Structure 1
Amino acid sequence: MNNIKNSIRTLFNLSEEEVTIFLSEFNKEKIKKNEVFIAEGGVCHKIGLIESGLMMCVYNKNGNEIIEEFAFENSFITNYYSYLTFKPSQKEIRCIEDTTVYVITRPGLDKLGTLYPFIRDMARKMNEMLFLRNHDRVKSLLLDTPAERYLQLISQKKDLAQRLPQYLIASYLGVAPETVSRIRNKMSTGHY
């Protein structure tokens, strides 16, 4: 929990007391590998903060899974579109590893936002960060090579390449698994 506290304090420039208040409505959950955190088809009413483990956001198209993003330690995870619009989730959020996540529900977050103005400031900053992250992802998909996108992915967390199966990385990059293999081979021989 200390890593989460430090991460939130730094990310939102909060005091120790503010971090404690923010985390007061979160409940710890342990989710097994391959279990679903947010199901496709349901309206999302919760936000997770990952203490340990790895999750992915997955769209299903004609039986094929398309990875939108990965979430790992000290990351927030939710279907933000469904959360904001109250529309059914078009994607599933599932654990890739056994995961420990702290979860806050919509009523809990609404309660905190009503009582503490700094929570509303956090929400605004989170919206800005999500917009920028999505902008960078779309720009990368349009302009960067698969190798550049791979390097961006693994730069987020150094052990990610070892924790993720090649086929999941390929889905995230929008390429065939063989392309990921070629990228890794070129990187290992110093050609990237």
Structure 2
Amino acid sequence: MDQLKKFLSDIYKLNSETLDEYTSHWSECTIPKKTIMTEPERTERYIYFVNKGIQKSYYLNNGKQHVLFFAYTPSFSGVVESFLTQTPSKYYLETITDSKLLRLPYEKHIQLIEQYRELETLFRKIAEQFLLGIIERHHQLMAFNAETRFKSFVQRSPHLLNMVSQKDIASYLRIDATNFSKLINRVKI
């Protein structure tokens, strides 16, 4: 719970009673690697916080995975738009490694946000950060070449190179797997 409290407090300083109340409703869960947590047509019922492990979100097109994001410590995980709108997911969420997560059901999350104004402010700030991250990712995909996208990824998340398959990283960076293999051997890390 301490890691979640620190993560939230780094985004927006909550009164300690509110923070304690909010985090007291999260429960621990352990999910083995290669487990599909959410799938298309299923509604995301939980917001997750990653204590340990890596998950990926992806969609399938003609049987090929297209990775949208990786979640790892310390960050939220889940299919955000499905959780927020309580509508069926369009994506998969799958554990890449054994994962230890905290989770909070949608109904409790909404109840607490409605009860505590400062939680609403916190999640507005989280939504702002999320939006800025999506805009930055979109910019990188549209404006940067493959080598620059790869270097940016390595700078931001170097530990994933040893924990996530090259195929998944290539998909995330929108680089052909063969070209990614050549790139990883050519670029100095």
- The alignment's TM-score, normalised by the length of structure 2, stands at 0.92
Aligned equivalents of 2:62 and 2:181: distance in 1?
25
Structure 2 residue matching 1:164: 3-state secondary structure: coil
Q: Tell me how far 1:122 sits from its aligned partner.
A: 1.3
Counterpart code for 1:102: L
- Classify 1:85/1:15 alpha carbon distance in 2 versus 1 (closer, same or farther; 3 Å): closer
Aligned equivalents of 1:18 and 1:9: distance in 2?
11
Q: Give CA-to-partner distance per residue, 1:23-51, whole Å, 9 cap, x none.
A: 11111110000112222211122110000
- Classify 1:101/1:144 alpha carbon distance in 2 versus 1 (closer, same or farther; 3 Å): same
Which residue of structure 1 lines up, in the alignment, with residue 186 of structure 2?
Answer: 186
Which residue of structure 1 lines up, in the alignment, with residue 141 of structure 2?
Answer: 141
Q: Give CA-to-partner distance per residue, 1:64-119, whole Å, 9 cap, x none.
A: 11000001001111212222333211101000000001001111101211221111
| Structure 1 stretch displaced more, 123-132 or 174-183 | 174-183
Structure 2 residue matching 1:10: 3-state secondary structure: helix
| Structure 1 stretch displaced more, 93-102 or 148-157 | 148-157
Which residue of structure 2 lines up, in the alignment, with residue 14 of structure 1?
Answer: 14
Specify every segment of 5 or more residues in structure 2 that has no aligned partner in the other structure, as ranges.
none
Aligned equivalents of 2:151 and 2:77: distance in 1?
22
Aligned equivalents of 1:126 and 1:71: distance in 2?
15
Structure 1 residue matching 2:37: 3-state secondary structure: strand
Alignment of 1:8-157 (within 5 A): 8-157=8-157
1:161 aligns with 2:152: no
- Does structure 2 conserve the Cα–Cα contact (< 8 Å) formed by 1:56 and 1:68? yes
Counterpart code for 2:119: I
Counterpart code for 2:70: F
Aligned equivalents of 1:186 and 1:5: distance in 2?
41
Aligned equivalents of 2:149 and 2:105: distance in 1?
33
- Classify 1:86/1:107 alpha carbon distance in 2 versus 1 (closer, same or farther; 3 Å): closer
- The alignment's TM-score, normalised by the length of structure 1, stands at 0.91
Counterpart code for 1:67: V
Matched-pair identity in %: 22
CA RMSD between the two structures: 1.6
Aligned equivalents of 1:110 and 1:184: distance in 2?
44
Aligned equivalents of 1:152 and 1:23: distance in 2?
33
Structure 2 residue matching 1:159: 3-state secondary structure: helix
Specify every segment of 5 or more residues in structure 1 that has no aligned partner in the other structure, as ranges.
none
Aligned equivalents of 2:154 and 2:72: distance in 1?
12
Q: Tell me how far 1:15 sits from its aligned partner.
A: 4.6
